[in-house]
Structure 1
Amino acid sequence: MGSVAVTVASMLFSGVCRSLATPAVARSFRMSRAALRNHQNKNAPSWCCRSSYNSYTAIAAESEFSKTDAENLTATSSSNSLPKYDRLLPCPLHKTPPRVEHLVVSEGGPVLEHICKALELPPLYVTDLIQFGAVYYALVCPQPPPSATEEQIRVFKEVTEPSVLRQRASIKGKTVREAQKTFRVTHADQFVEPGTYLRVHVHPKRFPRCYEIDWRSRIISVAESYVVLDKPAGTSVGGTTDNIEESCATFATRALGLTAPLMTTHQIDNCTEGCVVLARTKEYCSVFHGKIREKKVKKLYLALASSPLPTGIITHYMRPINMAPRLISEDFIKGWLMCQLEIQECRKVPWPTPSIQDKYCVEDCGWPYQDFAYECKINLLTGRTHQIRAQFAACRAPLVGDSMYMPAAIGDMSNPGLNPFGKYKRDFSSESEKETAVVNWIAQHGKEPGVAIGLQACQISWDDDDHFYESGSPWWRC
């Protein structure tokens, strides 16, 4: 094998919109406007080649894309350097530019040794990455995308040649698709054989707020099979793809002094606070999932909206694409998912003071200043990702601090007809014209909030209220 490296597009390994960057060896991040536009609009990945370590080393970088990330990429490119790596803790207060590396092992040995050599990272840093759950492996490298060059396809074919794969005892009895399934690396001394694929999230998504919380005070109830937590905003329930360490489940486990880790049973957005149920056993995880499927779990939310809404049921239809922002339509569209919520109450409350907004890092999203907001109690009838946020924005009552959906609501109000699925949508002469309108509508949305928005899971109950729990006061009443 020659000393050729291939950039594997991050979109292969992720279901959300990602931005791309070039390898660490180049010591810079580059992104052309054309590549970024293709990536955002059509999920079209880009590839490049380089020489490295006499091995087939597939390299790429990915992150949840935002304007801030793009600025970070530009700043890093101008400095033509990457941070000096030491340890993952203490947690940095600033965001590090995204970096995810995709490797194919050329020589068997401990995973720690291979990553350190291939990426020029110190052993303690790589050990931390493994502890954070930021390193994955698969027995066989995934298939390159259609945009790959002839050289890249040649390299992929060479390392996945059937005659080569037949010699690997570890994949006997497995289909190639099965062998391409990824798993977390859990030990630094785990042996990886030649041909093994590795994905290394060198810059995991961080959650500094985890270290600011009195976690014991956030415990609502401890039962034999579960724990109910009043989740703080700006934290992840069970962790992210690249960070299972800085999560509610981990910190609640430590706060309670439990020997077995708590497990997630359901999710709420990182920027949302309130009731979540964590299972103490795998068995109860399955039990609670069953209750959710059977609609035996009831959730009530408090939403701090920027405009008033009438009480009653609101229905929309959500585009079935697992990517933010979530697009919804007022009219039925075949294949789209029904979203329903019931507004039980809507009352006028003071708009949060600047000091409260600063304390909870609530973002100024360009909404005109006003003295009052509107606190709505919501019975969530269907549980879709971003459902409340997207539906309220579609009703021109976006949640306070929602930097993703509020800018779009402002754009829709200033330019009726901008939303191709809204009340004032235009008739399109062709599918391409409509597709362009959809792309423009997506561009009206902002980035995901950093810490808090006006949304709290205020109540959760199941089994006809045999189990009933409430959270504390929402942040905007503090």
Structure 2
Amino acid sequence: MASMLLAGGYRSFAAPAARALGITREVLNKHRNKHAAIWHCRSSYNSNTALAAETETSRIVAGNTTVASSSSSNRHSYRSQESTFPKYDRLLPCPSQKTTPRIEHLVVSKGGLVLEYICEALDLPPLFVADLIRFGAVYYALVCPQPPPTATEEEIRIFRRVTDPLVLRKRDSVKGKTLREAQKTFRVTNGDQFVEEGTYLRVHVHPKRFPRCYEIDWRSRIIAVEESYVVLDKPAGISVGGTTDNIEESCATFATRALGLTTPLMTTHQIDNCTEGCVVLAKTKEFCSIFHGKIRDKKVRKLYLALTASPLPTGIITHYMRPIRMAPRLISEVLWALNSIFTQSPVSLLSADFIKGWHRCQLEVIDCRKVPWPTTNIQDKYCVEDCGWPSQDYAYECTINLLTGKTHQIRAQFAACKAPLIGDSMYMAAAIAEMTNPGLNPFGKYNKDFSSECERETAVINWIAQYGKEPSVAIGLQAYQISWDDGEHSYKAGSPWWRCATA
């Protein structure tokens, strides 16, 4: 059995619409069993990634829009498949339509080139699979990881067969490795990579896309170019260094091209995709290491501008965040304090056991001023979502000194203070739900004692259900200024989107 679906359901292939990219036939025609069982791979950014010239000549001709039978008598010939697959125009530029997520998990049943194997196992055109590899959307592991609880009996049977110690003992590639080491995944960077029988493959058939990459004048977003780093005014709606399934459509990639650099820029820190503003990109690994050290030693100062739905007093806000690395990030609403309104240190309202293991989040609200709510034209221009906040006459622009740097920290903390960021469809939805139904948040100030752990877990699940989806483009948040070495190096972003003139 060639494929093993470990998570999610199989979705029919929907080819993206875009113009074609060229690719040599040499990659597709090399011998299947070249250099058996040995290959080199890496999980870092592919330095050879570049935006190929658009052409109108390398399209696949539509000949048959149905998927052929998987029986051996009807296997596709992927070296002459012009009459086999439906017409499509490749992954780049970005398609206008959205595709639903689709991730395929495979266990290789017969050794061969990774590109050819995926084509045959998933009935996908080779040019499309080549683009997925270029996007960083294909991963492999020497040994299949443990199937999830939802796996079928057949999938579990395959897992047990390919991970049987007697089987693994015969594979030279796993000798000297623990099972955990052999199950570690790496990004596939070359379609010619050989995958032996028993190898695990994960294919993100529909990678997350960032169409705004193609709308930005990237050269105008460069704030500074120094010997070892570049400072970028990151646009909202684009990842800094790429996602799990897409390293092509990222700020690092497009800034590299805009500057004509031969070596790819590297990320030194992250801000959310929906946040705009200052990002430092390294030209060298040495500077990456140096800058990481400065962040660790708290020598990097980050100021943010936030556009909120309600005002906040100035002072330091402290919360504790649940140590689970998935969105939404849940925090305790009880453990927060505005220093400016206390004459002495506030007393914790929760026991120490409750926050044990949770991460402390601190930020300082330097100032907060009343401003007009962004016009409909401005919101439409920057794809800012109307999240249903009841009053939209005025907003509040806050200047923030970020004291700790946790994922979604500002967004989660402000929502907990009933001052969610404008356009933040994930956290504003929960803030509205809590205002409508006080006590819904099991970690809020109305938190109650639960009779059992099961009751608590149910309450947490119900609370998470109140959060919305991640914003698609922009929210009211800008990384306004970044500085280090006591201000010796200091950079500011341009005006945030909400200060722009009416579109």
Q: Match for 1:275 among 260, 275, 278?
A: 278
Matched, 1:21 2:24: no
Q: CA RMSD in A?
A: 2.0
Letter in 2 for 1:428: F
The alpha carbon displacement at 1:393 in A equals 0.4
1:89 corresponds to 2:92? yes
The amino acid of 2:232's aligned partner reads L
Provide the residue aligned with 1:450 in structure 2.
Answer: 472
Partner of 2:6: 8
Q: Answer yes or no: is the 8 Å Cα contact 1:53–1:118 preserved in 2.
A: no
Show the counterpart of 1:37.
none
Q: Does 1:196 align with 2:196?
A: no
Amino acid in structure 1 at the alignment position of 2:366: Q
Which residue of structure 2 aligns with residue 408 of structure 1?
430
3-state SS, counterpart of residue 478 of structure 2: strand
Q: State the SS of the aligned residue for 1:441.
A: helix
8 Å CA contact 2:140, 2:201 repeated in 1: yes
Question: Do structure 1's residue 131 and structure 2's residue 111 form an aligned pair?
Answer: no
Aligned to 2:489: 467
Q: After superposition, what is the alpha-carbon deviation per residue over 1:174-221, rounded to whole angstroms, capped at 9, x for unaligned? A: 112111111111111111111111111110000000000000000000
Which of 243, 247, 253 does residue 244 from structure 1 map onto?
A: 247
Q: Tell me if 1:356 matches 2:363.
A: no
For residues 157 and 433 of structure 1, the distance between their equivalents in structure 2, rounded to whole angstroms, comes to: 36
1:63 maps to which residue?
A: none
Counterpart AA for 2:241: G
What is the TM-score of this pair, normalised by structure 2?
A: 0.80
1:212 paired with 2:215, answer yes
In structure 2, C-alpha distance between the alignment counterparts of 1:131 and 1:7, rounded to whole Å: 23
SS of 1:328's partner is coil
Pairing partner for 2:440 from 405, 415, 418: 418
Matched to 2:157, the amino acid is R
**Equivalent position amino acid for 1:246 in 2:** E
- Stretches of structure 1 that go unaligned for 5 or more consecutive residues are 10-19, 28-50, 55-81
Map 1:317-328 onto structure 2 (within 5 A). Answer: 317-328=320-331
Query: Structure 2, unaligned stretches of length 5 or more?
Result: 16-68, 73-84, 336-349
Q: 1:107 aligns with which of 107, 110, 128?
A: 110
State whether residues 201 and 242 of structure 1, in contact with CA within 8 Å, keep that contact through their aligned partners in structure 2: yes
Between the aligned partners of 1:214 and 1:23, the Cα distance in structure 2 is 36
User: Contact 1:23/1:101 (CA < 8 Å) preserved in 2?
Assistant: no
| Closer/same/farther in 2, CA of residues 321 and 163 from structure 1, 3 Å limit | same
Q: Which amino acid aligns with 2:414?
A: F
Question: In structure 2, do the counterparts of structure 1 residues 466 and 208 end up closer, same or farther at CA, with 3 Å as the change threshold?
Answer: same
Whole-angstrom CA distance in 2 between matches of 1:52 and 1:268? 44
- The 5-angstrom pairing of residues 55-74 of structure 1 reads none
Q: Say if 2:144 and 2:183, in contact at 8 Å, map to a contact too.
A: yes
Aligned positions of 1:47-446 closer than 5 A: 86-329=89-332, 330-331=334-335, 333-446=355-468
Distance 1:450 1:84, change over 3 A: farther
User: In structure 2, what is the Cα distance between the partners aligned to 1:181 and 1:400?
Assistant: 40
CA distance 1:229–1:180, shift in 2 (3 Å):
same
Deviations 1:241-300 (A, max 9, x none): 000000000000000000000000100000000000000011111111111111111100
CA shift, 1:367, in A, is: 0.5
- Aligned position for 2:347: none
- What is the rounded CA distance, in whole Å, between the counterparts of 1:366 and 1:23 in structure 2? 33
Name the CA distance, whole Å, in 2 between partners of 1:272 and 1:417.
Answer: 30
- Structure whose alpha-carbon radius of gyration is higher: 2
Amino acid at match of 1:469: Y
Following superposition, the deviation at residue 163 of structure 1 comes to: 1.8
Residue 109 to residue 152, structure 1, CA distance change in 2 (3 Å): closer
Q: Residues 108-131 of structure 1: CA distance to partner in whole angstroms, max 9, x if unpaired?
A: 111111011111111111111111
Evaluate the alpha carbon distance shift between residue 258 and residue 420 of structure 1 in structure 2; reply closer, same or farther with a 3 A threshold: same
Q: CA deviation at 1:86?
A: 4.3
Preserved CA contact (<8 Å) 2:2 2:109: no
What secondary structure sits across from 2:304 in the alignment?
A: strand
Whether the 8 Å CA contact 2:3–2:105 is kept in 1: the answer is no
Cα distance between partner residues in 2 of 1:89 and 1:157: 39
Higher helix share: 1
- Cα distance change, pair 152–286 in 1 and its aligned pair in 2 (3 A): same
Percent identical among aligned pairs is 79
The whole-number CA distance in structure 2 between the counterparts of 1:289 and 1:235 is 22
SS in 2 for 1:450: coil
Inter-partner Cα distance in structure 2 for 1:176 and 1:432: 34
The structure-2 alpha-carbon separation of the partners of 1:148 and 1:101, relative to structure 1 and needing over 3 Å to count, comes to closer
Cα deviation digits, residues 45-81 of structure 1 (max 9, x gap): xxxxxx9678xxxxxxxxxxxxxxxxxxxxxxxxxxx
In structure 2, distance between residues paired with 1:287 and 1:4:
46
Q: Structure 1 residue 423: deviation in Å?
A: 1.8
- Relative to structure 1, is the Cα distance of residues 138 and 346 closer, same or farther in structure 2, using a 3 angstrom cutoff? same
CA distance in 1, matches of 2:420, 2:243: 26
Q: What residue identity is the alignment partner of 1:447?
A: K
Contact 1:4–1:52 (CA<8 Å) still a contact in 2? Answer: no
Report the CA distance between 1:335 and its aligned residue: 1.2
User: How far apart, CA to CA, are the structure 2 residues paired with 1:149 and 1:371?
Assistant: 54
How far residue 427 of structure 1 moved from its aligned partner, in angstroms, is 3.1
Which residue does 1:17 correspond to in 2? none
CA contact (8 A) 1:315 1:338 kept: yes
Give 1:271's aligned amino acid.
Answer: C
Q: Are the counterparts in 2 of residues 5 and 52 from structure 1 also a CA contact under 8 Å?
A: no
Stretch deviating more after TM superposition (165-174 or 211-220): 165-174
